[in-house]
Structures are given as C-alpha cells and as structure tokens.
Amino acid sequence: MRYISTRGQAPILDFRGATLAGLASDGGLYVPETWPRFTTAEIAAMAGLPYVEVAVRVCRPFTGDCLDEAALRDIFTRAYGRFAHAAVVPLKQLDHRHFLAEIFHGPTLAFKDIALQALGLVFERFLGESGAHVTVIGATSGDTGSAAIDALAGRAGVEVYMLHPHGRVSEVQRRQMTTVLDGNIHNIAIEGNFDDAQALVKAMFNDAAFAGRFPLAAVNSINWARLLFQVVYYFTTALSLGAPHRAMSYAVPTGNFGDVFAGYVAAQMGLPVERLVVATNENDILHRALSAGDYSQGVVRPTDAPSMDIQVSSNFERLLFDLAGRDAAQLAARMAEFEATKQMRLPDDQREAAARLFTSARVDAAEMIDTMRWALAHTGELLDPHTAIGLAAARRDPGPDSAGAPMVTLATAHPAKFPAAVAAATGITPALPARLADLMSRPERYDVAPAQLQAIEAYIAQRARPR
C-alpha cells in the first residue's frame, strides 16, 4: 500500500515512511492511496476470533512489505498483553439498544493506549532495522501524552518531547506523564491551551531549518498508523453484535476526529456501519461543520472533558479529502484559506455526502451530568465525562432506520481518570485501579515554558540528539 498526502505535494511513501513521518512535508496528512475492501465472507470469517487475530487481518492490507503477518501478530500480542481485560475491548449492555465499548483498559486508562502501545513497538522495530533514531514531538490535551509516554519510555532510538497546556489537564493525566522519569522522556507545560500546543508542534514540523537538524516524528492522531490500529475495535465490537449480517451505529466522543475517522475507515473497508454520531462538548466546531457547513474556529472553552477541548480537528482534513473527491489541489487551497482566515464553508453537496454516514450533537455540561446520573441509576455504570458526552449524543439519536441497528458508544476513558468531575456529578469518587494506586505520591518532573516557537525549539535543541 502506498500513502499520499491530502495536499498532493509531499513524496508518496510506504507504510514505514508514513508511520515515521507523521505529518506530510506539505502540511497535509497521509492517507492510503485506496481503501482496501473485505468481502462479506471475509468479515464473517473474523467472527469469534481473539482481538489480536482480528487486528492482524484488519491491518495487514495496509502494511505492504513493511510488516508481514507474523510481525503484526508479534506486535499486537505484546501491545494488548498489557491490557487489564482479556477481551481487550469488552462490550457492556446498557439497555435494549445501547452498548458501551470499553476501549480504556490499557495502561493509562484511555483509549489512546490501543494505538500507542502498538505504535511504540512499530517505531522500535523500524528504527532497529535501520539503526536510526527519532525525536518525537507531540501536543496533548492529556490522554495522548500519557499514552505516548507509557508506550515510548525507555524505548531505544526514541526521544520524546511532549507539550501539554499548563494547568488544563487533570491531575491524574498530568501525573501519568510527569512521573515517568526515564531519560528519554521530556514534559513541557505550555502557557497556553491545547490548540496553542498543537500549533507549536505543527510549526516545528514546518520549520525546515529545525526539522533539518532533528529527525522529527509525530505520534499525534495525525499519525496514520494510530488511526489504523483504532479501526480494529469497530470490527471486533460489530462482529460481537452480529456483523456482517447486521449494521451498527457508533457514538464517538470526538476532539481531533481521529477515533471517529477510524469508524469511517471501517465502513470504507466493508463493515456495515449505519451511522457515526460525532459527539462534541461546547467546543463544537465539528458539530457546526457537519450540521451547518460552518467549519470556523471558535475560542477554546475549558470543560470537564478536556480531551475534547479542541477547535481545530486535524483529522477532519482526511474526511474533507474524500468529500472533495480526493482532489488534493482543491483541498490544499481550501486548507490554506482556513489557516489564513480560520474559517471554511463546507459546500452543500459535500455536507450532504457526509450526512449519509455522519450525524453530530453538541452536549453541554448539564446534559453530560444528567447522563452520568442516568447511567449510574439505571445501569450501575460510572461514566467518565467524555463517555457521558458520547452516550448523551447516542441517546438523542432518533433510532434505527434499518431493523434493530444497535448503538455502540465508545467509552474512551476510565472514570478514575477524571475523579473530580465524576464525583461532582454522581457523589462517587472512582478509585484508581490497583496498578496505579500510588500515582498521586510518585515524584514528578516537568518544565514550564511560554507558548513561543523560539523558546520551545531552543529547549529541544539543547537536549535532543541531532541527525
């Protein structure tokens, strides 16, 4: 499989190249040249297989000569062997129609472990083959950083510089990053919000002089391999509920549009998906874009679901590329305009095409709290704020338009990752799982820096190993 940039001006790469590059050199994102498609029989044959085996079958068409079946099996066996649940992604029934897919059983209690535990092993393998090293630069609203740091701590050939918005991630999230004391891990708290941190990362990649000195790599959800590994749980959960003979809908708490884009990929690969419900909090750029064609950047409002406090959803560009008929020149012009004006209109025909699969909902704090209370009272489940937003959107969905399509809400974080918000809504403080019980007393290490490109580049240049 070859990978092309959504903006058409970057070199075409194989899976290895796209994985190590992250962002394309023209500012676009790498996507597969075509969407591989399974037959109904091929999907049916995956029913009942262990998670790792489904992962091998779903990912194999994308990796070409770079990772064969045995390599993928080895990576997934090691990555998901660290999960606390034997099913990797267990399903829980809430009522006759609604299910939760718990994608948070990894080491750092949010779904980003699913992609990053595997990505860390892929990096180590690719770098080991060539004797190369990389400088990973990332921006996090909390969960990506902790998952990336856990996956990359101590890995040979990898240095990590992780930017998080100072004071805007939960204490559990911060400590999951700053208590990892391995020498290859560097945490930088930026005096700004997540969008500022993400803009700094993009600017470093686009700074030819800086990118020329250090072998930069990205692990943000702009990294294609991450999205690929997330496609797998759409398959495993749908198979458990009767696919391919029955369609499912999914409600996905959304920030950077990575997780829900993985659902779109599953649909392109032939999985029968009835609807993808894009759930946002008050930071609703995606809801405005999908419901009214208005993709314009608002001001980020901090909420109790910080991993969704995003007003520029990087991965949305991958959907826009397909909606524009894969016309990279057209998309590059529109993205340049968006970057200059912070606004973009989705043409009506493209918005209508998106609406065949995607619906959206904006869920405010009151509805999030009501949903947490409803779930506790009627199912006994404690939900984290992100999951509650997903379930609120799911419960607003008008219902199946083909017989009996179940609605699966992706439970993206363990409630103990956001104990203050969960306690405020339900009166119950969720306990950290035993493997993390001493987190609040471990020593921390991080530096605070202004949200200025020069300052951050100087910080990294003082420490990182050049090419």
Ligand X SMILES: *Cc1c(COP(=O)(O)O)cnc(C)c1O
Strand-strand pairing, 30-32 and 216-217: unpaired
Is the Cα torsion angle 73, 146, 101, 353 positive or negative in sign? negative
Residue 426 in the binding site for ligand X (CB under 6 A): no
> Of 124 and 196, which has the nearer Cβ to ligand X?
196
Measure the CA–CA gap between 254 and 272, rounded to whole angstroms.
Answer: 21
Task: Specify the stretch interacting with ligand X by CB under 6 A; choose among 10-18, 206-214, 234-242, 251-259.
Answer: 251-259
Instruction: Let me know if 112 is a catalytic residue.
Output: yes
| Binding to ligand X, residues 355-394 (CB under 6 A) | 386
Outline where 102-162 has alpha helix (H).
Answer: 112-130, 143-152
Measure the CA–CA gap between 277 and 242, rounded to whole angstroms.
Answer: 20
Task: Specify the stretch interacting with ligand X by CB under 6 A; choose among 250-258, 288-296, 352-360, 368-376.
Answer: 250-258
Measure the CA–CA gap between 226 and 218, rounded to whole angstroms.
Answer: 10
Neighbours of 352 (CB within 10 A): 12
Q: Which of 163, 123, 106, 124 is nearest to 22 (CA)?
A: 123
Dihedral of CA atoms 55, 58, 59, 61 in degrees, nearest 10, equals 150
From residue 60 to residue 79, the character string flagging contacts with ligand X as x (rule: CB under 6 A) and all else as - is --------------------
CB 396 to ligand X: min, Å: 18
The alpha-carbon radius of gyration of the chain (Å, integer) is 21
> Of 240 and 256, which has the nearer Cβ to ligand X?
256
CB 208 to ligand X: min, Å: 28
* Binding residues for ligand X, total number by CB under 6 A: 16
Q: Is residue 272 reached through a cis peptide bond, with omega within 30 degrees of 0 on the bond before it? A: no
| Binding to ligand X, residues 228-247 (CB under 6 A) | none
From residue 104 to residue 143, the character string flagging contacts with ligand X as x (rule: CB under 6 A) and all else as - is ------x-x------------------------------x
Binds ligand X (CB under 6 A): choice among 220, 409, 412, 426: 412
Binds ligand X (CB under 6 A): choice among 307, 359, 360, 426: 307
Active-site pick, 112, 202, 342, 417: 112
Binds ligand X (CB under 6 A): choice among 102, 113, 150, 259: 259
3-state SS of the chain: helix, strand, coil percent to 5?
Answer: 45, 15, 35
Name residue 268's amino acid.
Q
Residue 413 in the binding site for ligand X (CB under 6 A): yes
Residue 258 in the binding site for ligand X (CB under 6 A): yes
Q: Which residues pair with 384 in a beta bridge?
A: none
CB 314 to ligand X: min, Å: 8
Token digits of residue 278: 């894009």
Residue 221 in the binding site for ligand X (CB under 6 A): yes
Q: How many CA atoms lie within 13 Å of 118's alpha carbon, on the beta-carbon side?
A: 27
Binding site for ligand X (CB under 6 A): 110, 112, 143, 221, 253-259, 307-308, 386, 412-413
Catalytic site positions:
112
